[in-house]
Structure 1
Amino acid sequence: MPYDLGATARMTAQCRDPDGTATTAATAVVTVTLPDGSTATPAAVETTTPGTYRADYVTEQPGRHTVRWQFTGPAHAYTDVLDVRPEQSPALFSLADGREHVNLKNTREDDELRYWINVTTRAVEIFTGPVVVRPVTEDHHMGGAQSLALRQRPVLAVTALVPLLDGGTTYDPDRLNVDSVAGIVTRKDGGLLRGPLRATYTAGRPVIPDNITGAGRIILQHLWRTQRPSRGGALAGGGDDYSVTESIPGLGYAIPNRAMQLLAPDDQGPGLA
Structure 2
Amino acid sequence: MLDVGDTASFTWDVGSTPDTFSARVRLPDGTQTTLTPTEDPDRPGRYVAEYVVAQHGRHLVSAAATGPAWADVDVFNAAPPDWPAIVGLAEAKKHLEIEANDHDRDDELRGFILSASMVVEDVVGVVARRTVTETASGGGRNIVLEKPPVLEVVDVRVDGAVVDPSVYRWSPSGLLTHQGGWPAGLRNVEVTYLAGKLVVPPNVVNATLELLRINWRPQEGGNYAPFDGGAGDDFGNGDLEASLQGNLRLGFFVPNTVIQRLQPDQRGPVIL
Q: TM-score with structure 1 length normalisation?
A: 0.84
Q: Encode CA deviations 1:150-186: one digit per residue, 9 max, x unaligned.
A: 010001111221134xxx7531346531101x20112
Cα deviation, 1:212-262, whole Å, max 9, x if unaligned, reads 10111211111122333349xx86783163554334364577112121111
Map Cα deviations across residues 108-155 of structure 1 (whole Å, 9 max, x no partner): 332332222112111101101111111111111232x21211010001
In structure 2, how many angstroms separate the alpha carbons of the residues matched to 1:142 and 1:175?
Answer: 14
Flag the 1:186–1:90 CA change in 2: closer, same or farther, 3 A.
same
Q: What residue is the counterpart of 2:77 in the other structure?
A: 83
Tell me how far apart the structure 1 counterparts of residues 148 and 116 of structure 2 sit (CA, whole Å): 18
Matched, 1:186 2:177: yes
User: What residue number does 2:207 align with?
Assistant: 215
Change (3 A) 1:249 1:82: closer
**Counterparts of 1:253 and 1:26, CA distance in 2:** 46
Gap change, CA 1:34 and 1:192, over 3 Å in 2: same
Q: Counterpart in 1 of 2:31?
A: 38
Contact 2:60 / 2:73 at 8 angstroms: preserved in 1? yes
Instruction: Give 1:1-273 correspondences, 5 Å limit.
Output: 2-15=1-14, 22-48=15-41, 49-105=43-99, 106-107=101-102, 108-143=104-139, 145-164=140-159, 169-173=161-165, 175-180=167-172, 182-187=173-178, 190-194=179-183, 195=185, 196-230=188-222, 238-239=233-234, 241=236, 243=240, 244-248=243-247, 250=249, 254-268=253-267
Q: Distance in 2 between matches of 1:150 and 1:71?
A: 50
1:251–1:37 Cα change, 3 Å: closer
Partner SS, residue 117 of structure 2: helix
Change (3 A) 1:200 1:57: same
What amino acid maps onto 1:261 in structure 2? Q
CA distance in 2, matches of 1:110, 1:126: 24
Aligned letter for 1:5?
V
Q: Secondary structure at the residue paired with 1:65? A: strand
Amino acid at match of 1:146: R
CA contact (8 A) 1:229 1:236 kept: no
| Contact 1:230 1:236 survives alignment (8 Å) | no
User: 2:216 and 2:70 mapped to 1: Cα distance?
Assistant: 38
Contact 2:246 2:256 in 1 (8 A): no
C-alpha displacement at 1:82, in angstroms? 1.2
In 2, the alpha carbon distance for the partners of 1:262 and 1:237 equals 23
The alpha-carbon deviation at position 191 of structure 1 amounts to 1.5
Q: TM-score, normalized by length of structure 2?
A: 0.85
- Say if 1:237 and 1:44 are closer, same or farther in 2 by CA, change over 3 A: farther
Unaligned runs of 5+ in 1: 16-21
SS in 2 for 1:70: strand
8 Å CA contact 1:157, 1:201 repeated in 2 = yes
1:21-77 deviations in Å (ceiling 9; x for gaps): x01122211111111111000211111311111111111111111111011222211
Q: Give the letter for the 2:40 counterpart.
A: T
CA contact (8 A) 1:134 1:204 kept: yes
